[in-house]
Structure 1
Amino acid sequence: MKSKNIRILVFLCLVFVVFTPKLLLSQDGNVKSYPFFSHQGYVVLLTDLHFPYKQKTTERLLNKIKEIKPQYVFLLGDLTEMGSDEEFERLKNALSVVEKAQIPYNALLGNHDVRWSYVVRKSKMLENLDSYSKGLYEVFSKELGEFIFLGIDTSMYFQHGGHVGRAQLAWLEKELEEAKIKGKPVILLSHHPLGGPVTYTDDGWKIIDIISKYDVIFALSGHVHKYDYSGSYNGAWFQTLGAAKDGNMTVLSWDSEQAYLWKYNIDDGKFQMIKSIPLEKKKRQLVDAMIKLMEASDNTLKLKVDYIGAERIRILANGRLIYERALQYNAHKFSTYEVTLTNVPKTDFSVLLRISVVGKDGIHQRFFKLERAQSSDQNVLKKAWTFSLEDTIYSRPALFEDGVIVADYSGNVVFLRNGNVIWKKSVGPVVANVEIISESRDSKVEKRQVVIGDLEGKIYFFDSKGNLVRQIKLSEPVYSLKAGNSTIAICAGRYFYILRLSDFKVMAKHDLKNLLQVQPFFKDSIYFQPSWDGNIYLIDEYGKLVERFNIGKTYYTSGSSTPTLVGALLIYSNTDGTVNAMDVQKKEKLWSLR
């Protein structure tokens, strides 16, 4: 009997020796085991690297990724600190650890990658069901096993906050439809949180409206640097992720029934599960609703909600709570709730109504954008007309010939008069302001032309009838324009061009070292041009650099606002929250107000 027990013990030891290394060894041979190793698949999510800030921390995380060998890595933006070429090159070298381990990856851009970048980082045009956008985005669609990962570009030129845009929404809905046909659930990835528990976008709510029709499991985002915001909205789990610069990475794994989120910090070396949810939509969407909003003949709004699993209804108008009531809870069948809303504000501008049906296990939301006429008070400004372009409008419009010229991100240039299209032209993607130039003789204006610059470096000159008079090509993206007396200043990337209007020849080109976001101030034949390098440059119409004033560095400059001149005082704002006055003649700062 004793001999038999010894044989059993020896057999168990052999089993342990043979099989335990397969369970505990990571891909590079380290004796470690992680709970998701037994799952069907897993990917890594890194966000907010801010490289090379805390470079060593990021490099330790990349080595950890090499160790655990995921199927894929997704980078959710703020890859760099200032979006410079040097930073991106250094990040590329750091990511070689992952590339050499033959781990594929995709990357989104964040506000830090785009906001101060003098080159265009976005590279993809979106082909939609009924249109082809010329606007550039950094998106991806990656099919992995039973899932489709969709990367949404929320980064905006020159801005901290996020934006999706009409063209990208159309692309997203097309991708969701294709996933639905394939019968595959979707995981949404973005830099800025889209909504739900927190939002840093102006139109992410449109995505929440869309996903209720599809099988979206997760909506994962960065930007806030923490795991603090989460919740179930319209059947998807919304979750913000911790920053890589703080030593955090996230693993998303799955088996045949559940999907799991794990957070990891490089200092404690532990993977902690933060959420698991069923893959089957019926099992995870325990709160559901069908919401209908109708306007009655007496201008009141009738709301009808068929709901299940909810215990409260909450309504906000432009962010202000206007209605909240308890609902009769029923987890097994739909109930109906009806109410007449009498306190929805009336305004000539839009009212965004957010209706939330709230339960213990999640929230169902619908959004309604209302256009409701205000009172007949003649002392109140009223909207005369509205015109919608095909894409986001970054460009500042210009008044022209009793009308207005406006351009959108897809390169649609439209001349409108009283809301009616006089003419329409197509150029490349536009973020620069529209500028008007004039030619005059004997104090009489003979001709006026519309000047448009696009991200392809092309500058277009149109006459009042929309005819293309001439076109000029530069090597850099055009970010802003300003007409002088006999010249026009062109801010292209980090370069300041002066173009002579008599023959349209380039008189000067100055490297101002960083992004030229805004148009200069012009007075007495001098252009006052702020740069994100921390200086305001004074350049005359002949192209000579007259003076340079240093007013800040890194984030804290006047690079985002055009200065002005009052007598001998140069008035400029700084992103540190101050307004400042500098005596141009004495070359000294006189005062600063915060």
Structure 2
Amino acid sequence: MPRETTFIHLTDLHIGTADDDHLHSDTTETLHQVLDLVSTVTPKPQFVIASGDLTNRGDAESFRRLKEIMDAKLDVPVIYALGNHDTRPGFYEGMGVETTDPNAPYDHDTVLDGIHIITIDSSTPGLIGGTIDPEQFEWLAAALDRNPGLPKLIVVHHPPALGEAADATHWRTIHFPQSERFRELLKGRNIIGILSGHIHHDRVSVWHGIPVVVGTGQHAATDILRTDILRMVRGASFGIGTIRPSGLTMAFVPLPSDRAELNTYPLEMLLARAMPVTAA
């Protein structure tokens, strides 16, 4: 019988301090609850993916606290990606990752349990939306050429833009022209899935034949029934992934929630911190 690979998808952990008035929920306690549930998953996961917004402020101390929790509760490899709430210098310092340039994107790849996992840093200092720089595309092209016989799983905090043109709420995605370049680069590369976060609700799309899985994460949930504002409510989930020869399956495990309102944001504010649609 062909081997199956089980893994866990976490995202938007937003680890911060209790006095952070922009946090609105106890994300440290939520992470403990989630990791306790992860310890009960059978078969035991081979690895864990945390797809960005690891911290709420991007400070090194929050990254240190995150690493302490993950190291204490997990005995499998963890793949980290950076999101718009993270900072690169804070990540490198707090997580103890060696680098010659603390402002460099955290792009990396590895092979775990026969799966080639490629992680792209879509964070952009000062912006909510996602970008991928030309140098990152060069790195990605080289990474995709490695391990040609293995299925590839892509990890990137911002999901790609799904439509044929930039969406009105384009701060939710990788900048549209770069999403298109991303699509061309991934074409025909045996990509079994893309794992993302950022939009704070569970969503599965098929994007040009590639499954794109987004998780609610461990911070708060987006009320997707409201489109006039960004309304955040109490809620969290994590994903259990299974990779078979037939492809990728994702199951979502929601934490019990009353979905009480935590905060709201006007769309105008979010759009003001997104890259203009016309920019390349």
TM-score (norm 1): 0.34
Q: Give the corresponding residue for 2:256.
A: 267
The CA distance in 1 between the partners of 2:184 and 2:99, in whole Å, is 24
Q: Give the corresponding residue for 2:142.
A: 174
1:58 Cα deviation from its structure 2 partner: 1.3
The CA distance in 2 between the partners of 1:77 and 1:84, in whole Å, is 14
- Confirm or deny that 1:205 pairs with 2:180: yes
Asked whether the 8 Å contact 1:150–1:189 carries over to 2, the reply is: yes
Structure with the higher fraction of residues in helix conformation: 2
The CA distance in 1 between the partners of 2:66 and 2:35, in whole Å, is 11
- Confirm or deny that 1:252 pairs with 2:225: no
Q: Equivalences for 1:564-583 in 2 at 5 Å?
A: none
The CA distance in 2 between the partners of 1:134 and 1:57, in whole Å, is 29
- Confirm or deny that 1:121 pairs with 2:91: yes
The CA distance in 2 between the partners of 1:83 and 1:232, in whole Å, is 31
Q: Give the corresponding residue for 1:92.
A: 67
Q: Equivalences for 1:4-83 in 2 at 5 Å?
A: 40-52=4-16, 53-54=25-26, 55-68=28-41, 69-83=44-58
Q: Equivalences for 1:501-580 in 2 at 5 Å?
A: none
Asked whether the 8 Å contact 2:58–2:86 carries over to 1, the reply is: yes
1:65 Cα deviation from its structure 2 partner: 1.8
| C-alpha spacing 1:217/1:94, structure 2 compared with 1 (3 Å) | same
| C-alpha spacing 1:207/1:173, structure 2 compared with 1 (3 Å) | same
For the pair shown, the structure with the greater C-alpha radius of gyration is 1
The CA distance in 1 between the partners of 2:90 and 2:236, in whole Å, is 29
The CA distance in 1 between the partners of 2:190 and 2:3, in whole Å, is 21
Asked whether the 8 Å contact 1:48–1:78 carries over to 2, the reply is: yes
Asked whether the 8 Å contact 2:63–2:91 carries over to 1, the reply is: no
Asked whether the 8 Å contact 1:211–1:234 carries over to 2, the reply is: no
The CA distance in 1 between the partners of 2:53 and 2:8, in whole Å, is 16
- Confirm or deny that 1:190 pairs with 2:179: no
1:216 Cα deviation from its structure 2 partner: 1.0
Amino acid aligned to 2:110: K
Unaligned runs of 5+ in 2: 17-24, 220-234, 258-268, 273-280
Amino acid aligned to 1:234: H
Asked whether the 8 Å contact 1:124–1:136 carries over to 2, the reply is: no
Q: Equivalences for 1:361-440 in 2 at 5 Å?
A: none
1:86 Cα deviation from its structure 2 partner: 2.7
Q: Give the corresponding residue for 2:121.
A: 153
3-state SS of paired residue (2:185): helix
The CA distance in 2 between the partners of 1:244 and 1:234, in whole Å, is 28
Q: Give the corresponding residue for 1:505.
A: none
1:190 Cα deviation from its structure 2 partner: 0.7
Asked whether the 8 Å contact 1:51–1:87 carries over to 2, the reply is: yes
3-state SS of paired residue (2:145): helix
Q: Please point out which of 90, 108, 112 is paired with 1:140.
A: 108
Amino acid aligned to 2:191: V
1:125 Cα deviation from its structure 2 partner: 7.0
Asked whether the 8 Å contact 1:147–1:184 carries over to 2, the reply is: yes
- Confirm or deny that 1:165 pairs with 2:133: yes
The CA distance in 1 between the partners of 2:53 and 2:188, in whole Å, is 30
The CA distance in 1 between the partners of 2:236 and 2:35, in whole Å, is 10
- What does the per-residue CA deviation read over 1:124-171, in whole Å, with 9 as the maximum and x for residues that have no partner? 779xxxxxx997121221212332111110011222121111111111
Higher relative contact order (CA 8 A, sep 6+): 2
1:96 Cα deviation from its structure 2 partner: 3.0
Q: Give the corresponding residue for 2:262.
A: none
- What does the per-residue CA deviation read over 1:182-217, in whole Å, with 9 as the maximum and x for residues that have no partner? x11211111111222575222222111111131112
Asked whether the 8 Å contact 1:125–1:135 carries over to 2, the reply is: no
- Confirm or deny that 1:105 pairs with 2:78: yes
Structure with the higher fraction of residues in strand conformation: 1
3-state SS of paired residue (1:45): strand
| C-alpha spacing 1:79/1:207, structure 2 compared with 1 (3 Å) | same
1:80 Cα deviation from its structure 2 partner: 1.1
- What does the per-residue CA deviation read over 1:431-452, in whole Å, with 9 as the maximum and x for residues that have no partner? xxxxxxxxxxxxxxxxxxxxxx
Amino acid aligned to 1:265: P
Taking every aligned residue pair, what percent have the same amino acid on both sides? 22
